[in-house]
């Protein structure tokens, strides 16, 4: 059985959980190609026009998998922390895709809602496992391997690796290496993982910053216990899981005296980000930390992003007397 996983949205959060799970069940995991212009154009053609760019891109990834897999993995992710929910577009994703793209194979669209209790992840995975085998022990083994791999993945993120670097470490068995540049600028780049770590959609933002000699930190590198502490700091949290992660991460990095600035990468047309962005902007203003918003959509050009980010880095360097 070939299981197709689109290389976007929850891929950057959960791929190290899904992959060993399906492989232990005896399935072959096929991931869609890295994002590119053709996938996005295909997604734009297949989606409603007012969707944000990550959702349009998701449709392109699904379309790219249609002829290559027997079953598509597109779970309905509702709550990942037992408190907040994902944005409405995530909740309705399987329906959006089913009614937009013709000729889809069978879909695994089980619902994951951790608001229902601590055993919910087991119930979710067990329910999926039953589609592949009736052997209870085999499913339990797949769940164990998946959780073990996922725990190792999270440890790599906390060491300062990006998800894509951590995937490579886990697959190649290499030792993680994070290159810290002495005296370099330290910038927090905050945003949703499917925007930050997708080189096409972010127009290579993280790579560009590292090329300018910047030490980059992101929300996925913030330890869980710090996220938990910061979740109690605001008078009221947002309703959406990924938005809260972004706000808490920004506040966490603002506590760091060595932080030189924050870049918020946001997708044009993202409802939750209209609030996320304002909160981060106000927090930065209160701490007098330089802040910039980089907004992306399907028409964003590389030169425009490069010019803005380069100017932002230059201004901070000038302020610090580095140039
Ligand atoms: S949070 Fe924003 S960018 Fe992400 S899927 Fe929802 S609307 Fe799109």
Whether 311 maps to a domain, the answer reads yes
Residue-wise burial string across 35-48, b where 16 or more C-beta atoms lie within 10 A, e elsewhere: beeebbebbbebbe
Is 245 in the same domain as 207?
A: yes
Among left, alpha and beta (phi > 0; psi -120 to 50; other), residue 321 is left
pLDDT digits (tens, 9 = 90+) for 29-81: 999 999 999 999 999 998 887 889 999 999 999 999 999 999 999 999 999 99
Distance (angstroms) between ligand 1 centre and the Cα of 52 equals 6
Grade residue 98 by pLDDT with cuts at 50, 70 and 90.
very high
Q: What are phi and psi of 112, to 5 degrees?
A: -115, 110
Residue 141 counted as domain residue: yes
Please report whether residue 115 resides in a domain. Answer: yes
Give the count of domains, the chain.
2
Nearest CA to ligand 1 atom 1: 87
Residue 206 is assigned to a structural domain of this protein: yes
Biggest CA pair distance of the chain:
66
In this structure, the answer to whether residues 236 and 159 fall within a common structural domain is: no
The CB of 53 under 6 Å from ligand 1? The reply is no
User: pTM value?
Assistant: 0.94
Is the domain of 100 the same as that of 196?
A: no
Residue at 175 is within a domain? no
Taking CB atoms within 8 Å and a gap of at least 24, the contacts of 114-118 are: 114/79, 114/80, 114/81, 114/82, 115/78, 115/79, 115/82, 115/83, 115/85, 117/82, 118/82
Instruction: Decide: 247 in ligand 1 pocket, CB within 6 A.
Output: no
> What are the C-alpha distances in Å from 150 to residues 21, 80, 81, 167, 277?
10, 14, 16, 10, 30
Are 273 and 160 part of one and the same domain? Answer: no
Distance CA 75, CA 125 (A): 11
- CB of 241 sitting under 6 A from ligand 1: no
> Same domain, yes or no, for 237 and 164?
no
∠ CA 232-237-240, nearest 5°, is 130
Same-domain status, 132 and 197: no
Q: Domain check: are 20 and 111 in the same one?
A: yes
Please tell me whether residues 190 and 133 are part of one structural domain: no
Q: Quick one: 280 and 203 in the same domain?
A: yes
- Last residue of one domain, picked from the residues 141, 170, 199: 170
Instruction: Read off the pLDDT of residues 245-254 as tens digits, 9 standing for 90 and up.
Output: 999 999 999 9
Report whether residue 55 contacts ligand 1, using a CB cutoff of 6 Å: yes
Residues 162, 199 within the same domain? no
Flag whether 126 is in a domain: yes
* Closest residue to atom 7 of ligand 1, CA basis: 270
The pLDDT of residue 173 is above 80: no
Query: Ligand 1 atom 3: the closest Cα is on which residue?
Result: 270
Out of 170, 194, 212, a domain closes at 170
262-289 confidence digits (pLDDT tens) = 999 999 889 999 999 999 999 999 999 9
Q: Is the CB of 270 under 6 A from ligand 1?
A: yes
We report the CATH number of the domain holding residue 218 as 3.40.50.11900
- Helices of type H across 173-270: 193-196, 205-211, 224-230, 241-254
Length of the chain: 323
Could you tell me if 26 and 129 lie in one domain? yes
| Residue minimizing CA distance to atom 2 of ligand 1 | 270
Atom of ligand 1 nearest to the CA of 88: 6
d(CA 237, CA 317): 34
**Residue 110's CATH number:** 3.40.50.11890
The DSSP letter of residue 113 is E
CB 254 within 8 A of CB 291: no
Q: Which one-letter DSSP state was computed for residue 35?
A: P
- pLDDT at site 186: 94
Using 50, 70 and 90 to split pLDDT, how confident is the model at 178?
low
Distance separating alpha carbons of residues 174 and 70, to the nearest angstrom: 32
DSSP state of 112: E
Asked if residue 17 lies in contact with residue 147, where contact means CB atoms within 8 angstroms, the answer is yes
Assess if residue 187 is contained within a domain.
Answer: yes
Q: 269 is in which domain, residue-wise?
A: 180-319
Last residue of a domain, one of 139, 170, 201: 170
Per-residue model confidence (pLDDT) at position 182: 58
Bridge partners (DSSP) of residue 5 are 31
Answer whether residue 228 is part of any domain: yes
Q: Are residues 135 and 252 in the same domain?
A: no
């Amino acid at each position: 059985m070939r299981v197709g996983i689109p290389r976007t949205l929850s891929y950057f959060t959960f791929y190290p959980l899904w992959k060993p799970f399906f492989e232990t069940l005896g399935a072959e995991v096929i991931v869609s190609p890295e994002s590119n212009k053709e996938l996005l154009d295909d997604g734009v053609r297949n989606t409603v026009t007012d969707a944000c760019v990550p959702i349009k891109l998701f449709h392109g990834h699904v379309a790219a998998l249609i002829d290559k897999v027997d079953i598509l993995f597109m779970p309905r992710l509702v709550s990942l922390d037992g408190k907040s929910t994902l944005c409405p577009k995530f909740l309705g994703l399987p329906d959006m895709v089913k009614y937009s793209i013709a000729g889809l194979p069978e879909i695994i669209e089980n619902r994951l809602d951790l608001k229902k209790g601590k055993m919910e992840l087991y119930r979710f995975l067990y329910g999926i496992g039953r589609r592949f085998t009736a052997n209870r022990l085999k499913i339990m083994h797949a769940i164990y391997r998946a959780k073990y791999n996922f725990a190792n993945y999270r440890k790599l993120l906390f060491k300062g690796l990006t998800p894509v670097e951590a995937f490579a470490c886990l697959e190649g068995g290499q030792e993680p290496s994070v290159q810290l540049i002495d005296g370099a600028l330290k910038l927090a780049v905050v945003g949703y993982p499917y925007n930050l770590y997708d080189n096409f959609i972010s127009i290579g933002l993280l790579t560009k910053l590292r090329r300018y000699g910047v030490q980059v930190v992101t929300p996925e590198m913030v330890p869980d216990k710090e996220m938990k502490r910061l979740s109690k700091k605001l008078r009221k949290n947002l309703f959406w899981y990924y938005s809260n992660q972004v706000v808490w991460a920004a506040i966490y990095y603002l506590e760091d005296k060595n932080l030189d600035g924050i870049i918020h990468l946001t997708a044009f047309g993202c409802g939750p980000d209209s609030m996320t962005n304002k909160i981060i902007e106000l927090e930065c203003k209160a701490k007098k930390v330089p802040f910039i918003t980089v907004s992306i959509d399907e028409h964003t050009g590389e030169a425009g992003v490069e010019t803005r980010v380069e100017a932002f880095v230059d201004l901070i360097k000038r302020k610090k007397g580095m140039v």
